[in-house]
Amino acid sequence: MPLPMVHLSVTKKLADAGIPVNDLPQFYLGSISPDAIHMRQGADRLAKNITHLLPAEKGKIHSWEDRNEDEYFELMRDFMNANMNKTNADFLMGYAAHILTDMLWTKRVFGKFAEKFNMSGAPAEDKSKTYYHDTDIVDYLIYSGSNWRQDVWQCLQNAEYADFLDFLSAQEIKLWNERVLNWYVSPENQYKFSGTPKYITKTDIDNFISSCAENILSHMKAVEQV
């Protein structure tokens, strides 16, 4: 799935486009929080499916490829409308934007990557390593080249933490936020950010971010009208 800077880039475009948000720190925090499940000890793929609104059935691995885009936008609209009064609405909108970005990424970016990789003749066991080689580098390029990053970082640093419905604890969200804030400057991660992407370029991702934000913005407007 896309890494944090892609998610934050999408939500920054949504905020700039005038999506009705009262609390930007909560909006940005929500946009990275579905992946906070990684901070839960012993969390497996089923646990991640739950936080990403995918079916959680033991022995089965589901993905957004199982649904068409219109169906998933409808599911997300229902999720937002059902929970708008149960949690922070701005966090919820950011959370929903994350999941919709994941869905669109799976269909529009990862699918193309997988096709190119499979045609390359490279060993199948190298697929995940190659994918993260490309996405780590591109994510760092966004981090280092974005003129808005400091403003968003300030929002994340000022965000307050609370349990999110039955999905995540405040502590899990806090730990993940701290991980994101420190990830790109940690000395132990610098080796991940060197080299040249092979299958996924920054131009690809810049184009994806723009189209993804446009799709999600139209969906958010549909939620407002309900």
- pLDDT cut 70: percent of the chain above it: 92
For residue 222, what pLDDT is reported? 57
Q: Structural domain tally of the chain? A: 1
pLDDT at 62 over 60: no
pLDDT at 75 over 90: no
**Angstrom distances, CA of residue 128 to CA of 6, 93, 161:** 18, 30, 32
Tell me the C-alpha distance between 89 and 83, whole Å: 8
Domain carrying residue 191: 4-225
pTM for this entry: 0.93
The residue-averaged pLDDT of 37-55 equals: 88
Quick check: 61 pLDDT over 50? no
Q: What is the pLDDT of residue 48?
A: 87
Higher pLDDT among residues 113 and 67, named by residue: 113
* Residue 38: exposure state from Cβ atoms within 10 A (0-12, 13-18, ≥19): middle
Would you say residue 162 has pLDDT above 60?
yes
56 CB-contact burial (10 Å; exposed 0-12 / middle 13-18 / buried 19+): middle
pLDDT of 160 higher than 90: yes
Number of C-beta neighbours around residue 54 at 10 A: 21
Cβ burial of 119 (10 Å; 0-12, 13-18, 19+) is exposed
